[in-house]
Amino acid sequence: MATQLEILVNGKLHRVEATPDTPLLYVLRNELNLLGPHFGCGLAQCGACTVHLDGAAVRSCVVPVSAVVGKRVTTLEGLADTYPASIAKTDEPHLHPVQKAFVQEQAAQCGYCTNGWIMTSAAFLKENPKASEAEIREGLSGLKCRCGSHMSILRAVKRAAHDMAQE
């Protein structure tokens, strides 16, 4: 039975109506019209639905919406707001360093999986700011890209790590 829940998404409190076991992904896309996270496999295997829950990367297709009550959810749309240096007043678009690096490295072909790579990379680099290439590969090993953009993605994550270390 549907119930009203209050969830904090991208710094804003939202009142949604859903059954407690509804996957967070469905609420984000269908109720809040946030289209960064995508439905990929529905089994937490591909990563297209990745969001941050209190800063940790999670697969929103398997997280019940009731589990996020009282926690901070960040989607791709709100990622830049979590990184203070990206909020500086410049003429550049307001992007997180990982988002910016993905643009600079043209690290997407179809782009369907990009949300998962960016969100997972941002959480990974926050916890591992001086990660080696091998550590980056291991940290991102659970993600899927059917287009084969893996090398561009790796270059983008390495660029973001470098750029973040310079700030």
Instruction: Kindly write down the DSSP assignment for every residue of 94-151, as one continuous string.
Output: ---HHHHHHHHTT--SS-TTHHHHHHHHHHHHHH-TT--HHHHHHHTTT---SS--HH
| pLDDT, mean of residues 71-86 | 91
Query: pLDDT at position 143, please?
Result: 94
- Give the burial string for 44-57 (b: 16+ CB within 10 Å, else e): bebbbbbbbbeeeb
* Per-residue tokens: 32: 């809040």
| pLDDT, mean of residues 31-50 | 97
Query: pLDDT at position 54, please?
Result: 98
Closest among 140, 163, 164, 165 to 151, alpha carbons compared = 140
Checking if the pLDDT of 92 tops 80, the result is: no
pTM: 0.94
Q: Cα torsion for 137, 139, 141, 143, to the nearest 10°? A: -120
Sheet of 56-59, strand order = 12-18, 3-9, 72-74, 50-53, 56-59
Average pLDDT, the chain: 94
Query: pLDDT at position 84, please?
Result: 81
**CA–CA gap between residue 107 and residue 6 (Å, rounded):** 35
| pLDDT, mean of residues 49-77 | 98
Query: pLDDT at position 56, please?
Result: 98
Partners of 51 in the β-ladder: 58
pLDDT, tens digit (0-9, with 9 covering 90-100), for 37-46: 999 999 999 9
| pLDDT, mean of residues 114-136 | 97
Domains of the chain, with CATH numbers? 3-77 (3.10.20.30), 80-166 (1.10.150.120)
Checking if the pLDDT of 63 tops 70, the result is: yes
Residue with tokens 């997972």: 120
**CA–CA gap between residue 120 and residue 115 (Å, rounded):** 8
